[in-house]
Structures are given as structure tokens and as C-alpha cells.
Amino acid sequence: MTERSEITKTWKLFIGGAFPRSESGRVAPVKDLTDRSGGKALAYAAQASRKDLRDAVEAARAAQEKWAASSGYLRGQIIYRLAELLDGRREELIEAVRMSGRVGKSKARTEVEVAIDRTLSFAGWCDKLDSVVGGRNAVAGPFHCFSQIEATGVVAVFAPEEFPLIGFLTLVLPAIACGCSVIAMPSSVEPIPALIVAECAPSADIPPGVLNVLTGLREELVPVVAAHRDIDAVVASVEPEMAKILQLGVAENLKRVRLVDPQAKFLEDLAWSSPSAFQAVTEVKTVWHTVGL
């Protein structure tokens, strides 16, 4: 019997609910960083171009209004289903996190379990955030004053390099939960956990365009995101030189930017499961109404 050839997977982009190849035609190896020989290629990942980013923004913009208009209950059910699907691929996720070379199998298992639990937490916030953060305001005078939470719009997310699953979900899901659509750039070192999330998205009934995932070089994508006028906000866990490019770029078009420390305690910090996680991707609308006599 002849020996079978090993098939190395090539992961594609996730744009508008589909899995296209990069317009650039480029791919790069994703290495097993636990391999002492220098890193065996586990798979290959597409390298997104400026054109791919433009396509993702168009898909996100087309999907955002309808997604924001959907009920918080529906969004919560969809994110809950995503947690179920991730739980079903738990062992695959553990192995992908372990091969990032940062943690052993035991800590990789902990990271995956916390990531799934946090996904459930964000599902629960979908129909409760407005009640907790919004509400009736006390004012002097014959007025009713109400504040309610609204989604910022189209959000670009740069996930941390060192936390390929928990960091990705922690920064992406608050935006999706409150009604934003997202263009997410996962860890360029170990993107496979985030790409597994992308594979689960259609089965979780996340509408096409609500979540878009682009793998590639940050030095190419960060300046394009900063300059793009149809992106409303950026949440980025990047190194200082990339953060500076973002800050200078968005000063011209007035995007909202939240910079997250790449070494943030994504596993331990309970603030990531609180309403403060939504601050960068929501707006507060206040309505005044006179009291009838």
C-alpha cells in the first residue's frame, strides 16, 4: 500500500459570509511554534490586500443596519449558538492554541474554556446592556429624559498577537453583540483559532457581513484601516509603532480608537465581561420629551 501524501490546509479569508482567496494571491505559512527545529508549517493562511479590506468594509456596511435593528434577544441566541459550536470544536481549538508556542496543553485548555464561557457572557449581555447602561435620567423640570445604547457602526478590530483565541473573541464579540459589524484581523503569528471561529460563524447564523476575518501583515493593513472613511471605530491591541500609525491616521477622519495593551490580562480581568467592554463600540443617544399637563 502506498503512503498517502499529507494535505496541508490553506485557510482563506472570511468576507461577506464566504471564504474567498486573497485578491493578492499571496499565502504565508502558519508555523508550529512548539517545533524545536524552527517551526513546522501547520497550514497556510491567505494574506489580505488593500482590495480585500475594501471588500470586507463594503460587506460590513451592507450588513450593519439590519443587524443593529435586530432584537437583542436574537443576537444573544446567535452568539449562544456560536459558543455551542466552539465547544464542539474544543479539542481542535486547544491544539491550535498550544501550537502558538506560548502555553502548554493544560493552559491552552484553560484559555479555550474561558473563551467559550466569555462567549456565553456576551450572549447574555445582548438583551440586557440597554437596561443596565441606559435608562431614565433624573432632570430638573417638566421633562422625561431617556438614554439608550446604539451600535457605533462598522468596527475594525486588531486582535492581540499573543492570545489567539481569548483575545480575538474578547475584542470582537462586544461589537457584534451590540449591533456593530466587524472586520477582524487575528493574530498574524497564530491565526488558526480565529479562523476556526470564522468557520463556525455561518452555522451559528451570524448574517453575512456581520463578521469578516482578514489574515495578513499588520504593517500593510493598519495604515489602510486608519485612512478608510467608512470605518467608524477601531479597537486595536497592537505594538506601539502600529498604535502610532493608527492615532495619526484617524486624526484626519475622526474615527474612534480604543488601544488595548497587548499584554492585557484577557484571562483574569473580569472587566472584559462587564459593560465596560462595550464602551468603545457603542454610542449613547439621549431623548428629551416634555411631560404633558
The CATH number that applies at residue 85 is 3.40.605.10
State residue 265 phi and psi, 5-degree precision: -85, 80
Write down the pLDDT at residue 37: 58
In a domain, 40, yes or no: no
> Alpha helix locations (H) across the chain?
50-69, 72-88, 90-98, 105-125, 129-133, 166-177, 192-200, 218-227, 240-253
Q: pLDDT band at residue 158, thresholds of 50, 70 and 90?
A: very high
Record the pTM.
0.90
Q: Does residue 293 register a pLDDT over 60? A: no
Q: Does residue 132 register a pLDDT over 90? A: no
Q: What is the mean pLDDT of residues 99-120?
A: 86
Residue pair 56/155 in contact by the 8 Å Cβ criterion? no
Write down the pLDDT at residue 79: 98
Highest mean pLDDT among 20-34, 90-104, 166-180, 257-271: 166-180
Write down the pLDDT at residue 166: 94
Residue 250 one-letter amino acid: V
Using CA atoms, how far residue 234 sits from 26, 47, 185, 225, in Å, is 25, 20, 11, 8
Domain of 142, in residue numbers:
49-290
Write down the pLDDT at residue 36: 58
Using CA atoms of 202, 203, 206, 209 in order, give the dihedral in degrees to the nearest 10.
0
Residue pair 155/146 in contact by the 8 Å Cβ criterion? no
Q: What is the mean pLDDT of residues 100-126?
A: 88
Residues 6+ apart with CB under 8 A from 274: none
What percent of the chain has pLDDT above 70?
Answer: 95
Write down the pLDDT at residue 35: 63
In a domain, 144, yes or no: yes
In a domain, 106, yes or no: yes
Write down the pLDDT at residue 17: 96
Q: What is the mean pLDDT of the chain?
A: 90
Question: What nine digits make up the cell of 278?
Answer: 462595550
- Of the chain, the end-to-end C-alpha distance in Å amounts to 91
Question: What nine digits make up the cell of 259?
Answer: 488601544
Q: What is the mean pLDDT of residues 149-163?
A: 93
pLDDT digits (tens, 9 = 90+) for 19-54: 999 999 999 988 877 665 566 788 899 999 999 999
* R_g of the chain computed on alpha carbons: 20
In a domain, 34, yes or no: no
For residue 258, the cross-strand partners are 235
In a domain, 38, yes or no: no
Q: pLDDT band at residue 292, thresholds of 50, 70 and 90?
A: low
Question: What nine digits make up the cell of 283?
Answer: 454610542
Q: How many domains are there within the chain?
A: 1
Q: What is the mean pLDDT of residues 83-112?
A: 88
Q: Which residue, chain included where needed, has cell 443593529?
A: 68
Q: pLDDT band at residue 69, thresholds of 50, 70 and 90?
A: very high
CA distance linking residue 35 with residue 235, whole number of Å: 32
In a domain, 75, yes or no: yes
Residue 26 one-letter amino acid: R
pLDDT digits (tens, 9 = 90+) for 247-271: 998 888 888 899 999 888 888 877 8
In a domain, 164, yes or no: yes
In a domain, 193, yes or no: yes
